Amino acid sequence: MRRGVGTYLTALLEVNGLRTHFFTSAGVVKAVDGITFDLMEGESLAIVGESGCGKSITALSIMRLIPSPPGRILGGSIRFMGEDLLAQDDKAMRDIRGNRIGMVFQEPMTSLNPVLTIGRQLTEAVQRHLGHDNEAAHARASELLELVGIPDAANRLRAYPHEFSGGMRQRVMIAMALSCSPKLLIADEPTTALDVTIQAQILELIQQVQRELGIAVIIITHNLGVVARYVDRINVMYAGRIVERGTLHQVFDEPQHPYTKGLLASVPRLDKPKGERLIPIEGMPPDLSNLPPGCAFRERCAYAIARCEEDVPEVRHVRSAAAEHHVACWAVETGSAA
Amino acid sequence: MTTSSADSPLVEVSRVKKYFPVTSGIVFKKRIGEVKAVDDVSLTIQRGETLGLVGESGSGKSTLGRCILQLHQQTEGEVKFDGVEMSTLGGRELRTMRRRINAIFQDPYSSLSPRMTAAGIIGEPVSVHGLVQGKAQMRERIQELLEVVGLNPYMADRFPHEFSGGQRQRIGIARAIAAEPEFIVADEPVSALDVSIQAQIINLLQELQEQLGLTYLLIAHDLSVVRHISDRVAVMYLGKLMELAPCDDLYEDPQHPYTKALLSAVPVPDPTVEEARERIVLQGDIPSPQNPPQGCVFHTRCPMAIDDCRAVVPPLKETSPGHWTACIRVGPGAI
């Protein structure tokens, strides 16, 4: 158990050995293949990786929103506030979703219903979960819009999604996710579709509600910059597995996994003058339905050793670092298995 | 047909405006307004340089790129390529000119015909401009182009769906350089690609520039990418040019309040740097280009705006050598 500021924190979410596969005509896609991590109350975590690494599927698995068929959670456990989410029936899950876990998706336009007013969509969750009557739900809805920084909230409730800009819609999505005061907010690429200046507004808003309401946040993103500014801890994913996890500074200042190092070296930086060539990661991510044995990264890896071809690397403590820093690589000198 | 000397600019854009009509009605279309996508923009691109053009969505950066390519006819103003006014050219003259200019687009999925092989896609500009004789020579040229962009020559007979996103972008680049152009407009060439693939394509663009002496106009919203490969950078907002400066100058010492806010909004992948950085979070949204604000288009979101900003359209003026800024509150004679 990690020590927080002056107190021991309890784990809000514990994911252990989660495996989510998709059974398609082209074969079994191992989208998430044995991942383990936890999240403390009030903490913020980023799940970073490129497309197809399994970061969104991790979130959907926690929400139990994996379309089945073709998808299925094959193994592992997800414990949230002490309860095993995989053991819940559909009705119990509906009560947890929205009520205790809120989620924000990438595309604010497709996630809102275009023919219902903002107010109608905001009050729906409140009425469903908290059993508010119309008047109380309406009051709560305008309170939520104010919380996410939409001025003139009472009037804006009558507007339709198309009358809002992309940034405003994302604010509405955040308001909906927060409507029942959840303990955990999952934001899947919340700013990817937005312009830079609007992106900054939304990230500041997520950080502000996290602090004000004391909720835990998982941000799923491919953007390393977004991560550096707004989270406490990071999970780096590659081909369905977590290859490195640790605190913000551990992962950025002393990256251990060759993939993490490669990612950091390959992005151009705003604060570095034009000059040297970028060092790309050669090759491309593997096909998840046809993964080679051993480490999925080894074909792109400059440090690969013989063992990488045979055994899937265990997630182990980084020897020199504090207990939280873990890496899954045979070529890195590590301590005991985690 | 080079008409001017080597130190004159390759591309000269002067006072270009591009307005799109907004109509209502289905049969009898009535013009009810216009979108000022590009509004009075002037800039030059020197031979061999990379000019980065940045801005948020709706800033008009892609429209300006398309005006330079003559894919859009500008409403007003001039686009000169190598001293020749492009919009007056027609037919064969335009085609000859087009050989010297080419484009790379954002989406490697929709910009390649799904029914043509890689060889067909890359070979088309070569045969249109009659650059090789006979099938054997064509085959040779295609193989050569594939190798230049880092693809295996045996992939020539594959269709686009058989390639990954990064490989498709390489095919797009091979097509763009196939007719040996001097100037390439690259519109968001890496934004659809994964992070680890972006660096490969950025490096390829830089290598090609050195080998072939290309001049680039790089249109992008990712300010980090633009810094990495540009010599000079132009910043657009709502159809107007806000600031134009040598690359490091712009990033180290931005003058325009919009550029400052834009740069501070871009996160840097380094928590230690991030903790020390000051950020300016702009309030509000980008106004509609159909109804842009009077005076300076940025005044509605500008932290430095005064009453005069609402009345005066700020001219682009040189605030330090080579550094141009369109703000009445910046530079000599600032209010």
Residue-wise pLDDT tens digits, B151-164: 999 989 999 998 88
Q: Among B228, B176, B190, which Cα is nearest to B106's?
A: B190
> Which residues of chain A make contact with B57, given a CB cutoff of 8 A?
195
* Nearest CA distance, A54 vs chain B (angstrom): 14
CB contact under 8 Å between A225 and B273, yes or no, is no
Of B57, B221, B266, the CB nearest to A225: B266
* Nearest CA distance, A88 vs chain B (angstrom): 36
Q: What is the DSSP letter of A312?
A: P
pLDDT at residue A55 is higher than 50: yes
**How high is the pLDDT of residue B119?**
93
> Closest-CA residue in chain B for A279?
B199
| Crossing angle for the helix pair A196-213 and B257-265, to the nearest 10 degrees | 60
Rounded Cα gap, residues B327 and B306, in angstroms: 11
pLDDT at residue B1 is higher than 60: no
A269 vs B: CB within 8 A:
yes
A196 vs B: CB within 8 A:
yes
Of B206, B227, B262, the CB nearest to A196: B262
Rounded Cα gap, residues A108 and A112, in angstroms: 6
pLDDT at residue A109 is higher than 90: no
Q: Among B148, B209, B135, B212, which Cα is nearest to B174's?
A: B148
CB contact under 8 Å between A278 and B265, yes or no, is no
> If you average pLDDT over each of A104-113, A151-160, B256-265, which comes out highest?
B256-265
Q: Among A124, A227, A133, which Cα is nearest to A177's?
A: A124
* Residues with Cβ within 8 Å of residue B266, at least 6 apart in sequence: A196, A225, A270, B223, B224
**How high is the pLDDT of residue B255?**
94
- Among A48, A196, A201, A299, the strongest candidate for a mutation testing the B interface, having the largest count of B CBs within 10 A, is A196
Of A165, A248, A267, the CB nearest to B195: A267
CB contact under 8 Å between A228 and B274, yes or no, is yes
- Whole-complex ipTM: 0.81
A162 vs B: CB within 8 A:
no
One-letter amino acid at A270 equals L
CB contact under 8 Å between B206 and A277, yes or no, is yes
Of A252, A281, A284, the CB nearest to B164: A284
B2 pLDDT band, cuts 50/70/90, is: very low
**How high is the pLDDT of residue B51?**
96
* A334: three-class secondary structure by DSSP: strand
pLDDT at residue A248 is higher than 60: yes
> Which residues of chain A make contact with B166, given a CB cutoff of 8 A?
284
CB contact under 8 Å between A268 and B194, yes or no, is no
